[in-house]
Amino acid sequence: MFLIIFFLHFKLYYFFSKNYCINNFFSFLFELNKNKILIIEIKKYHGECIPGFIKYFNILGYNNIDILITPELYKQNIFDQTYFKLKIKYLIFSKYEIDKYITLGICDFYKICFFNTLDLATIKMRKYLHSKHKFKSILVLHNKINLKKFDINFNNIVVLKKFNKNLPFYEINPHYFGEYEYHIKSNITNFVTAGNNLRIKKNFNLLINSAYKLISNNYINFHITIIGKGYKNLIKSVSKTNLTKFITFTGRISYSLMYKYIAKSDFVLPLLDPKIHKHYLKQQTSGSFQLSYGFNIPLIIEKTFAVNYKFNNNNSIVYNKNNDFYNKLKEAININKEKYKQIKEGLKIKTKEIEINSIYNLKKILNN
């Protein structure tokens, strides 16, 4: 208590001069514990990774976790308390406040500061922590292209997939999205895809053309859910066809609602094209893979990406180039429940291997 009062005595005027929420900050300080982990996210994305990282810390015995996030990310409901079984505490501040609190020594009260997204701001925060306090922190690199953008200290850098074995990164793949019931194959096959409507992320022309071909050939026992924003033109296009009753556009929804859609689906569609989406082969991983791991829902995935990410017909449905995608949708619709169960078991084995490797690598970082 003496240290906290001493700290406030010298730093308090900074907060009054900047009109900070002092009551929030008092609550923050008086509940600090040197054995805690502080996970920091100053962006409004990558929130889906946080539960998985917390789970790995919990497995290794770190059960006191605080999350320092912005109001924008908090509103996205990354933790639905009816869905998650993790004990956490939210600390909600603006990006500017987070930066100031760190420079005032907040991290000194924690064992580890874990930055959920590596960008210029978090790199500066980390450099400050090291120069002023020699404080240990961990940074998550989501896109390898940022290596060229920023001057990065390579110590304790986490990646979700290690594309280059020669780089000194730790591969830790977080894919815990809450507790869910085991899903058996539906009579009406439910396909789901999640993400914003950007050509650099997914090939929606492939999906719409294949769906139209399905109903033209009298395959009508399926439904497609498209989660995300930016689909105005696609919705307008679909509305002019007889696809409308086969496709649902949810718009932008909370993380927790998205998880519930995924958990009840039969197949996740990454919609990746090797001609368009080469960055998912060399620079960054797709959220579709994370959702597949976390909910044990098989992918329908193009062969190039399947090989790169070690998917096969024992744990997913693999198609060979775009002209084979339609045939694999038919296969998914016609698959019997026993075969579907076998694929899910293969996916479960693959996911467990990823989890074991992730925990091992996190332990190595913490013990260094």
Place of tokens 């395959």: 219
Q: Which residues are within 8 A (CB) of 367 and not within 5 positions of it... i.e. 6 or more apart?
A: none
pLDDT value of position 87:
73
pLDDT value of position 6:
42
Q: How far apart are CA 96 and CA 330, in angstroms?
A: 51
Are the folds of 2-177 and 189-352 the same? yes
Can you list the residues of the chain whose pLDDT is less than 70? 1-35, 81-84, 132-134, 148-149, 151-154, 197-200
CATH code of 189-352, in short, is: 3.40.50.2000
Helix (H) or strand (E) holding 7: helix 2-17
pLDDT value of position 133:
60
Residue 283 burial (CB < 10 Å; 0-12/13-18/19+)?
Answer: middle
Domain ranges of the chain: 2-177, 189-352
Write out pLDDT tens, residues 175-212.
998 888 899 999 999 999 998 766 567 888 899 999 99
Place of tokens 């609190």: 101
Q: Considering the domain 2-177, what is its CATH architecture? A: 3-Layer(aba) Sandwich (3.40)
pLDDT value of position 198:
63
Contact (CB, 8 A) for 107 and 129: yes
Q: How far apart are CA 291 and CA 207, in angstroms?
A: 19
Residue 212 burial (CB < 10 Å; 0-12/13-18/19+)?
Answer: middle
DSSP type of residue 198: -
Write out pLDDT tens, residues 63-81.
889 999 999 888 888 877 5
Contact (CB, 8 A) for 168 and 154: yes
Contact (CB, 8 A) for 171 and 142: no
Record the tokens describing residue 172, joined without a space: 């830790």
